[in-house]
A and B are shown apart, each in its own frame.
Chain A
Amino acid sequence: NAGVTQTPKFRILKIGQSMTLQCTQDMNHNYMYWYRQDPGMGLKLIYYSVGAGITDKGEVPNGYNVSRSTTEDFPLRLELAAPSQTSVYFCASSYGGEAYEQYFGPGTRLTVT
């Protein structure tokens, strides 16, 4: 049981490049989330999904896109990377909604220069 896995662990992008952050969970959770963590700012929700085929925007969705074709996978796409997207990105999942705790992946540290 691997839980939530994320790849890559680290990435350096040039301004204007694109990339996909991968996230997979093996707990059969319905809900999945993408957060970014900036120093002293806590976690900000980028996108979330309540099940395969269903996604919605969080607090800071601009510059990102997601898809959820299967229960297990929830990739995050960065288009036209900007320095403001330099951050640590965490994927998380939970069995259900409000009352359920979230399980986090190890994170991807992204630098845009």
Chain B
Amino acid sequence: AQSVAQPEDQVNVAEGNPLTVKCTYSVSGNPYLFWYVQYPNRGLQFLLKYITGDNLVKGSYGFEAEFNKSQTSFHLKKPSALVSDSALYFCAVRGPNSGGYQKVTFGTGTKLQVIP
């Protein structure tokens, strides 16, 4: 069974500082990994994904994530945080196609608070 863990319920960072939101996963085979962001009272919005290729993935709004197969991690990063980055962030994983639809498993979310 596949699973994803976001070990921090909340991350606080000062505006202008680098931010990291952590994600680890467990899946058989090569994973498909996603990050989504949710602003208050809104649906989730796609940020970036890793399917194959370069381990460093760049996405929307200046975010990037690094796929680390040995550590089974896919941490979300941004060099300089903005107050407007404050939101709920979800990591998600999907296993490879094994003959049927493979659902995506979402983490429980990490609340990012950027302090002015």
Contacts and interface: CB of A to CB of B under 8 A. Distances in A.
Contact of A104 (B43, B102, B108): B43
A43 interface: yes
Interface stretch (B12-20, B66-74, B77-85, B93-101): B93-101
Contacts of A101: 34, 46, 49
Interface string A42-56: 110100101000001
Contact of B104 (A102, A103, A105, A106): A102
Contacts of B36: 104
Interface string A1-24: 000100000000000000000000
Q: 5 tightest CB-CB pairs across the interface, nearest first?
A: A104-B43, A101-B46, A42-B106, A43-B106, A42-B108
A97 B101 contact: yes
A90 B43 contact: yes
Interface residues of B, number: 25
A48 B101 CA distance: 10
Interface residues of A, number: 23
A103 B102 CA distance: 17
B107 A45 contact: no
A103 B36 CA distance: 10
A92 B45 CA distance: 10
29 contacts: A4-B43, A40-B9, A41-B108, A42-B90, A42-B106, A42-B109, A43-B90, A45-B103, A45-B104, A48-B101, A48-B103, A50-B101, A59-B103, A90-B43, A90-B44, A97-B102, A98-B94, A98-B96, A98-B102, A99-B32, A99-B94, A101-B49, A103-B46, A104-B36, A104-B43, A105-B43, A106-B43, A107-B41, A107-B43
